[in-house]
Amino acid sequence: MLKEKKISVILPAYNEAATIGDVIEAMPDYVDRIIVVDDGSTDETLDIAERKGAEVCRHATNRGVGAAFSTGMRAALAARSDITVSIDADGQFDPRDIGKLIDPIIDGQVEFVTASRFKDRSLYPEMGRVKFYGNKLMSFVISTMTGQKFFDVSCGFRAYSRNALLKLNLFSDFTYTQETFLNFAFKRVPIMEVPVMVKGRREHGSSRVAGNLFRYGYQTVKIIIKTLRDYRPFRLFAAVSLALFIVGLAFAVFLAIHYSKSGTFTPHKWAGFTAGFLFLLSAMSFILGFILDMFARMRLNQEEILFHLERRRD
């Protein structure tokens, strides 16, 4: 069955000359195509990848790992790959574990499999506390939003069926990991996590995604909010509406208590105007959520149509 599948591996890479050669050499024999996406590297990443026999797609400037993955995804689809694997070029993942990710897809169990650093406690990698609990928090947030239990939503070692890639629509250049989970979960694409052993720390250089944790957190939250806006707008705007209503109610209660004690609204009339304004914003947000939810349904229908059109081309 494995020999019948065309397997491509995507390696987004930015200044990974110290490790990319070893990663390419460690690829299993059953991998048909290695696609290195050089994201504007200024070292010898491009030359080493070409010497090792990889197919190279190059960005003239550094655009981000999300953009690099999208470029590799398009190349894999154009090559008509049956299964596509994404793996970091920094040497933290062992290419020999690719088989663990693609087997459930080959067996028809799921369409998307991701390596998990935290599903098995015995395989927890060594990493700083901030990074460890940051990953845990992000997994909790995504699990809460999707209603599914996930242990690791930020790992870049993953396998996709062709159908899964055709259904995937990503917009962030910064990263793609959490957005992928939300995209698939909202489209009811089955997801499986497979525990693997990985290196918790890079041997060379620093992560361009998580190197600045504050920037990483900000960008990730922005991606999550945008994805909710596109696929679950009512949930997002209903939450905003509820928050505005509660704050407005607090001002109204404050004014009511003041009036009951003094018999006058003065000098806190401002609280009444503020409460009224917040109630208005709450109602507008609620109605906006209803309207955008209609557009979200249309969006999902359009993406489903596009998926079937692409399948017909195959």
DSSP, residue by residue, 88-155: -TTS-S-GGGHHHHHHHHHTTS-SEEEEESSSSGGGPPP--HHHHHHHHHHHHHHHHHHTS--S-S--
Element (DSSP H or E) covering residue 59:
strand 55-59
Of the chain, the percentage scoring pLDDT greater than 70 comes to 94
8-65 residue pLDDT tens: 999 999 999 999 999 999 999 999 999 999 999 999 999 999 999 999 999 999 999 9
Q: What is the mean pLDDT of residues 222-235?
A: 89
Element (DSSP H or E) covering residue 84:
strand 83-86
145-179 residue pLDDT tens: 899 999 999 999 999 999 999 999 888 888 888 99
Mean pLDDT across the chain: 90
Task: Report which of residues 313 and 225 the model is more confident about.
Answer: 225
Q: Answer yes or no: is pLDDT of 109 > 80.
A: yes
Q: Rounded to a whole number, what is the distance in angstroms from the first to the last CA of the chain? A: 20
Q: Answer yes or no: is pLDDT of 119 > 80.
A: yes
- Evaluate the CA torsion angle 210, 214, 216, 221 in order and state its sign: positive
Predicted local distance difference test score (pLDDT) of residue 96: 93
Give the global pTM. Answer: 0.82
pLDDT-derived band at 255, boundaries 50, 70, 90: very high
Which residues 6+ apart lie within 8 Å of 270 measured at CB? none
Predicted local distance difference test score (pLDDT) of residue 207: 56
- Asked if 228 and 145 count as a contact pair (C-beta separation under 8 A), the reply is yes
Predicted local distance difference test score (pLDDT) of residue 1: 56
- Asked if 49 and 24 count as a contact pair (C-beta separation under 8 A), the reply is yes
Q: Tokens in use for 89?
A: 């070029």
Of the chain, the percentage scoring pLDDT greater than 90 comes to 70
Predicted local distance difference test score (pLDDT) of residue 172: 82
pLDDT-derived band at 193, boundaries 50, 70, 90: very high
Q: Answer yes or no: is pLDDT of 90 > 80.
A: yes
Q: Answer yes or no: is pLDDT of 311 > 90.
A: no
Distance of CA 49 to the CA centre of its chain: 26
Predicted local distance difference test score (pLDDT) of residue 219: 83
Predicted local distance difference test score (pLDDT) of residue 309: 85
C-alpha to C-alpha distance for 229 and 78, rounded to whole angstroms: 30
DSSP 3-state of 44: coil
Predicted local distance difference test score (pLDDT) of residue 214: 77
C-alpha to C-alpha distance for 255 and 235, rounded to whole angstroms: 30
- Asked if 83 and 105 count as a contact pair (C-beta separation under 8 A), the reply is yes
C-alpha to C-alpha distance for 151 and 141, rounded to whole angstroms: 11
- Asked if 275 and 248 count as a contact pair (C-beta separation under 8 A), the reply is yes
Task: Report which of residues 209 and 240 the model is more confident about.
Answer: 240
Which residues 6+ apart lie within 8 Å of 310 measured at CB? 166
